[in-house]
A and B are shown apart, each in its own frame.
Chain A
């Protein structure tokens, strides 16, 4: 494992180049170009503000004004997009880059890493927009925001581990791609993004509460909500447990990936 990490350090330039290739290619040919990375979240939060602040006006105890719901939702959906896009793209990345695997002596682990990091960059570009939305809607932020890198680390480790698992298995079981699309939708609803974890029906049901607590993404998304929305981090213990779970997943994910590595050449 340590050897592999050393190896990865050697490939940092390649990883960097591959990520910037993805980023460059994404908006190439559009008028606004790279500015779309900011425009997309701006448009998203504008739509939410109109829909939830003016039309639905959901009532939750911790949200003094219903317009705050839009930033609450935005706080959750931003890391969720990083996670879900990474997982879905991981399922395709080895097959899509088949020529690199088949024709070049290429360090394959770069590919799922490229997916997770590219989506992380999109997330990072969304953060200033998120902060801007808080300022515009008059919701104050605390210094807890500076703990953001810790939440990101936990999410990165967990997502990366899952990315290794999924990318390696999809080469052999292409069905995973289709299962994933639906699984991710379900996962979205069992993660407190559109509702807070303190939502009454959840707190009142032992089963739902346990189920949500066992979902690592609950704690990860909650971390962002605490740091931005509530300005505290009371569940840091759960977050550390999530990190450990993430590391275990990462370890086994990478091991599986490494074990199946030699089969990729013939199967993609």
Chain B
């Protein structure tokens, strides 16, 4: 019980182009095309031959961009929609966390809604009664359970929905992005519950954009692209490849924007300014092996490279960089002057490289600012908020920088590191 086999799965969505020409029943009857109108000539393929299998007790995550077919796949696994071609074999009871709180009626109390939603999810009345206290307690709604659901906040609504769904006790659990809406304190609780399912040997299919969680809980990751399996395998390998792909795509978009602006001859003045007597161009980031890259692990070596061009001989120049996080907080800044370099002379073209053994930043998107200026601050060329990169970390630590540290406990403190 709990295994899943997916064989050459296709899903076509009909576009019903014809139907809208004969929208009324009368005209459909008159033209005798009632049923042929329900067929369609134009189709959109959401899944184009997906095959994989999941062994009992394994957790498989499905990642991919929006519109890649992840949700369609999950809906077919859940039995909500039917495959156009191919086949899905599932063993055991399936519970799908696609929509939380389905069938909740806003006018009715939370307690009564537990019975409605529970029945919809296939729980018997007896089982709901047995689990009622657990459900309410897990949802942290002891004080509100007899109030109508319309008075609940979206967080309370989601908590109640999750709490019911998790009590269905399935052999296969399908989870679609639902955790994204939870409040910060509830999400870890949900993850604990999912881990508990894992320990009990249940099969889990997890669809998410939260790559950190994906990496932590899965045994295997499937990357779906344009309705097909693009890559699958060991979680870290797939998520890294995915992040790099996304980073590159972002970068391509950014550089396309950049070029467009340059073509218009109006490179954003707020983002770039200075006399341009010395110019910075061709900014690139590379990993330790010299490959161009914009997504880095917190502990991996990287380098920042750029070309400089001094239009005339320059004696007084300082190179600087700073890294800002997405909120615009300066995480780190330095320049050659601060670091006691004394400029002598520069003319014509040159190259500058900054080597960084490890960024030690927390998860997130960062901006890279670069500048070349005179010691007194006179600007030659400032690049502000022009370049972005991402840092991915297996740790869920918070703040700005990851301060290197180790935990040490005396012997009477019983504490163990989870793998």
Decide: B115 and A28 in contact? CB cutoff 8 A: no
Determine, out of A12-20, A40-48, A66-74, A124-132, the stretch whose residues face the partner at the interface: A12-20
Decide: B99 and A13 in contact? CB cutoff 8 A: no
B267 interfacial contact with A, CB 8 Å: no
Decide: B80 and A105 in contact? CB cutoff 8 A: yes
Contact of B80 among A24, A25, A103, A173 (CB under 8 A): A103
In the complex, A103 Cα to B177 Cα: how many Å? 13
Tell me the total A-B contact number using a CB cutoff of 8 A: 79
Decide: A99 and B99 in contact? CB cutoff 8 A: yes
Decide: B107 and A25 in contact? CB cutoff 8 A: yes
In the complex, A260 Cα to B82 Cα: how many Å? 12
Decide: B102 and A179 in contact? CB cutoff 8 A: no
Decide: A105 and B79 in contact? CB cutoff 8 A: yes
In the complex, A263 Cα to B84 Cα: how many Å? 12
Asked whether A28 and B38 contact (CB < 8 A) given A17-B116, A105-B80, the answer is: no
In the complex, A72 Cα to B75 Cα: how many Å? 53
Taking CB atoms, residues of chain A closer than 8 Å to B121 are 104
Decide: A103 and B103 in contact? CB cutoff 8 A: no
Contact of A179 among B25, B28, B37, B124 (CB under 8 A): B25
Decide: B81 and A104 in contact? CB cutoff 8 A: no
Contact of B13 among A14, A97, A266 (CB under 8 A): A266
CB within 8 Å of B: which A159-197 residues: 169, 172-173, 175-176, 179
A106 interfacial contact with B, CB 8 Å: yes
Shortest A94–chain B CB gap in Å is 14
Decide: B25 and A176 in contact? CB cutoff 8 A: yes
B125 interfacial contact with A, CB 8 Å: yes
A62 interfacial contact with B, CB 8 Å: no
Decide: B96 and A105 in contact? CB cutoff 8 A: yes
Decide: B103 and A21 in contact? CB cutoff 8 A: yes
B105 interfacial contact with A, CB 8 Å: yes
B23 interfacial contact with A, CB 8 Å: yes
Contact of B38 among A13, A21, A104, A172 (CB under 8 A): A172
A29 interfacial contact with B, CB 8 Å: yes
Decide: A266 and B14 in contact? CB cutoff 8 A: yes
Asked whether A100 and B13 contact (CB < 8 A) given A13-B125, A105-B79, the answer is: no
Determine the main DSSP class of A at the interface with B.
Answer: helix
- Interface size of A by CB at 8 A reads 28
Taking CB atoms, residues of chain A closer than 8 Å to B26 are 175
Q: Produce 1/0 per residue, B287-298, CB < 8 A to A.
A: 000000000000
Asked whether A99 and B14 contact (CB < 8 A) given A104-B120, A173-B28, the answer is: no
In the complex, A50 Cα to B186 Cα: how many Å? 61
Decide: A260 and B38 in contact? CB cutoff 8 A: yes
Taking CB atoms, residues of chain B closer than 8 Å to A172 are 19, 37-38
Shortest A185–chain B CB gap in Å is 18
14 A–B contacts, CB within 8 A, in A order: A13-B124, A13-B125, A17-B119, A18-B103, A100-B103, A102-B80, A103-B102, A104-B99, A104-B102, A104-B103, A172-B19, A172-B37, A173-B23, A262-B82
Asked whether A17 and B96 contact (CB < 8 A) given A25-B105, A105-B79, the answer is: no
Q: Produce 1/0 per residue, B116-144, CB < 8 A to A.
A: 10011100110000000000000000000
In the complex, A172 Cα to B121 Cα: how many Å? 27
Taking CB atoms, residues of chain A closer than 8 Å to B23 are 173, 175
A77 interfacial contact with B, CB 8 Å: no
A265 interfacial contact with B, CB 8 Å: yes
**A interface residues, Cβ below 8 angstroms from B:** 13-14, 17-18, 21, 24-25, 28-29, 97, 99-100, 102-106, 169, 172-173, 175-176, 179, 260, 262-263, 265-266
Those 3 A-B pairs whose CB atoms lie nearest each other, nearest first: A103-B99, A28-B107, A17-B119
Taking CB atoms, residues of chain A closer than 8 Å to B107 are 24-25, 28-29
Taking CB atoms, residues of chain A closer than 8 Å to B112 are 21, 24
Decide: A265 and B81 in contact? CB cutoff 8 A: yes
Decide: B116 and A18 in contact? CB cutoff 8 A: yes
Taking CB atoms, residues of chain B closer than 8 Å to A169 are 25
Residue of B nearest to A170 (CB): B25
B78 interfacial contact with A, CB 8 Å: yes
Decide: A104 and B80 in contact? CB cutoff 8 A: yes
Decide: A104 and B108 in contact? CB cutoff 8 A: no
Taking CB atoms, residues of chain A closer than 8 Å to B98 are 103-104
Decide: A263 and B38 in contact? CB cutoff 8 A: yes
In the complex, A190 Cα to B103 Cα: how many Å? 38
Decide: B108 and A25 in contact? CB cutoff 8 A: yes
Decide: A173 and B102 in contact? CB cutoff 8 A: no
In the complex, A76 Cα to B112 Cα: how many Å? 35
Shortest A258–chain B CB gap in Å is 13
In the complex, A105 Cα to B112 Cα: how many Å? 21
Shortest B50–chain A CB gap in Å is 18
In the complex, A262 Cα to B124 Cα: how many Å? 26
In the complex, A14 Cα to B120 Cα: how many Å? 6
Decide: B119 and A14 in contact? CB cutoff 8 A: yes
Known: A104-B99, A173-B24. 14 other contacts (CB 8 A): A18-B116, A21-B105, A24-B105, A97-B103, A99-B102, A103-B98, A105-B94, A106-B102, A169-B25, A172-B19, A173-B23, A175-B25, A175-B26, A266-B14
CB within 8 Å of A: which B129-188 residues: 148
Decide: B148 and A104 in contact? CB cutoff 8 A: no
Shortest B107–chain A CB gap in Å is 4
Q: Produce 1/0 per residue, B342-355, CB < 8 A to A.
A: 00000000000000
Shortest B28–chain A CB gap in Å is 7
Taking CB atoms, residues of chain B closer than 8 Å to A21 are 103, 105, 108, 112, 116
Residue of A nearest to B98 (CB): A103
Shortest A38–chain B CB gap in Å is 20
Taking CB atoms, residues of chain B closer than 8 Å to A103 are 80, 98-99, 102
In the complex, A205 Cα to B25 Cα: how many Å? 32
Shortest B170–chain A CB gap in Å is 12
Taking CB atoms, residues of chain B closer than 8 Å to A263 are 38
CB within 8 Å of A: which B37-55 residues: 37-38
